[in-house]
Structure 1
């Protein structure tokens, strides 16, 4: 078990890149040599997208970040579809190659952005969990990057004034405080593990995950809802 640093107020500029690099080292070997049918598997968290589509979206987003091409509307559904279509003629291996490069090169750019791109790193890590789950691999929304992901999630929810929540996590020695002060509203309470908390905050299915949630509805936690 680990104890996070001050996750509430202090930005670690290296954290987003570290999260991406940690996931890169775990995910890319899982993808190398996969059969074509694995890349065609549907991804439950992204209706209409296959594993390959998710990977193409992630590789495009990280490449855009690394090259400084994040114009307004770049992550709209239409833009995402164009990025995926632009890679339709690539081999699966070429998509994975671009993803590996992006997960490496985007980190320093995100670090220098002062926090404006930190959510991108968290989102790409979550998508890696989507892919792991679609492939039936263990560690979805967990693994070696979980502590960094939880710290980043906590800070982002505070910066966005999200609903307050006090989380007692099996994965951390100290409680995690998420969201804003809430004014007169007392914080909700979560008891469970980190991957379940990530699922709730990112709108992923938490079915089968053992946790307790009180004082707040699951739908209120979704950052993307």
Structure 2
């Protein structure tokens, strides 16, 4: 039994986003380098219209913008995403993976310096890594060694966005995860951590069993709530 890192802390941990990104770099990049180019042309069900290659190009572009201090209004939105993917359309897959590996390793300090304004980017990158695993039919989507840190970051992001409060009793974790903020009575989630991540990121739950009371699924989705 384990506890999500820092779930009881209400103050920001500036090292958390970088820690999550480097954990995912170490898990994801070897997997990407082991696959054939054809695998990167497969569709990503969680991101309609995108291939695996598109999702990775988006992830690398966002991190590069942070590392190089080029964040601008609208970054991470649909228009910017489409432009970033188009700019990398003629890159070989290896170059897409190289950029992503660099970003996952170097973006942590840049995010830490931004007073929490871009902490959600690290969570989004980790979720997209889960999208890729799911597109390839692999186990461990929205799980793996970074899950505890991802849950702690999810708790922080939902408080920052002032989403409705939810107490989540997670399979395999000793203590409930407290998400969101506000004065209304908290909702209650009972189930596994990966399904919780799916709910908060607008991903299909795939028939996984869970209980949700006192809050609607539509109130949970963190995407589209950028600061």
2:127 alignment counterpart = 126
Distance change (3 Å), C-alpha of 1:174 and 1:65 = same
The aligned runs of 1:134-173 (5 Å cut-off) are 134-173=135-174
Task: Give the TM-score, by structure 1 length.
Answer: 0.95
Equivalent position SS for 2:94 = helix
Distance (whole Å) between structure 1 residues aligned to residue 8 and residue 46 of structure 2: 27
Give CA-to-partner distance per residue, 1:37-93, whole Å, 9 cap, x none.
210000011100000000000000000000001011122211111111111111111
The aligned runs of 1:94-109 (5 Å cut-off) are 94-109=95-110
Equivalent position SS for 1:141 = coil
Equivalent position SS for 1:198 = helix
1:73 alignment counterpart = 74
Query: Is the CA contact 2:7–2:155 (under 8 Å) kept in the aligned structure 1?
Result: no
Distance (whole Å) between structure 2 residues aligned to residue 61 and residue 48 of structure 1: 19
Distance change (3 Å), C-alpha of 1:79 and 1:136 = same
Equivalent position SS for 1:85 = helix
2:205 alignment counterpart = 206
Query: Is the CA contact 1:8–1:154 (under 8 Å) kept in the aligned structure 2?
Result: no
Q: Does 1:192 align with 2:191?
A: yes
Greater shift in the superposed pair: 46-55 or 36-45: 36-45
1:20 alignment counterpart = 21
Query: Is the CA contact 1:51–1:131 (under 8 Å) kept in the aligned structure 2?
Result: yes
Distance (whole Å) between structure 1 residues aligned to residue 9 and residue 37 of structure 2: 43
Q: How many residues align?
A: 223
Distance (whole Å) between structure 2 residues aligned to residue 95 and residue 171 of structure 1: 35
2:93 alignment counterpart = 92
Distance (whole Å) between structure 2 residues aligned to residue 59 and residue 129 of structure 1: 15
Unaligned 5+ residue runs, structure 1?
A: none
1:8 Cα shift? 4.4
2:219 alignment counterpart = 220
Distance (whole Å) between structure 1 residues aligned to residue 210 and residue 43 of structure 2: 27
Equivalent position SS for 2:134 = helix
Distance change (3 Å), C-alpha of 1:34 and 1:6 = closer
Equivalent position SS for 1:155 = helix
2:2 alignment counterpart = 2
1:6 Cα shift? 4.3
Unaligned 5+ residue runs, structure 2?
A: none
Distance (whole Å) between structure 1 residues aligned to residue 162 and residue 90 of structure 2: 42
Distance change (3 Å), C-alpha of 1:123 and 1:151 = same
Query: Is the CA contact 2:191–2:209 (under 8 Å) kept in the aligned structure 1?
Result: yes
Query: Is the CA contact 1:141–1:195 (under 8 Å) kept in the aligned structure 2?
Result: yes
